[in-house]
Amino acid sequence: MPSPTDYAVFTELSPDSKPAKPGWNRRIFTDTDAHKGGAIHCDFATGLLTLAPGAYQISGLSAVAYFTKDDPRETVVPRSPASAGYCRLRCIEPDVPVDSANMRELPNSHPTILCIGSPSTANLVPSVFETFYETDKPAQLVLEHQSGSNPDQIYLRVFVGNSKWHLFARIAIRRL
């Protein structure tokens, strides 16, 4: 039974490097920063977030970075002009593909899109979002990020310096 104070914070750190693909890329969370109650779950293998029926406040961020193996150690080399993009939070429905390589296949006006994030760039400028969501049945959500149709040298996460402590996405969910 969900408690009235259910909340969770999940983070995508960088246990490995993961290049972005054209179109929408699912964020795969790797760590739990905070978790209370039984209404909110994260599948760390798929990135799917499962919510029990109820009302929720959801906020977070999603970032991408330019990266090449020739970049100086412990640096991010900014580029200008920089590839632009943003994240979006959507509800998984049986008739809508979970993963889509074509970013225009499911428009942001589709009813499964809960919100889109602010504009971002691949210079580690994150896309941020906040929304409220209410469901009368269990729901599955996914956070996605796109950085154009040709994300050359753009990564969803970067593992360098033998450190996984590079935060690329975070979501905070609170049951109201």
User: Which residues are paired to 143 by β-bridges?
Assistant: 89
Question: Could you state, in order of their start, the residue ranges of all structural domains in the chain?
Answer: 7-175
Most confident of 112-121, 146-155, 156-165: 112-121
- Dump pLDDT digits (tens) for 14-73: 999 999 999 899 999 999 999 999 999 999 999 999 999 999 999 999 999 999 888 887
> Which top CATH class is 7-175?
mainly beta
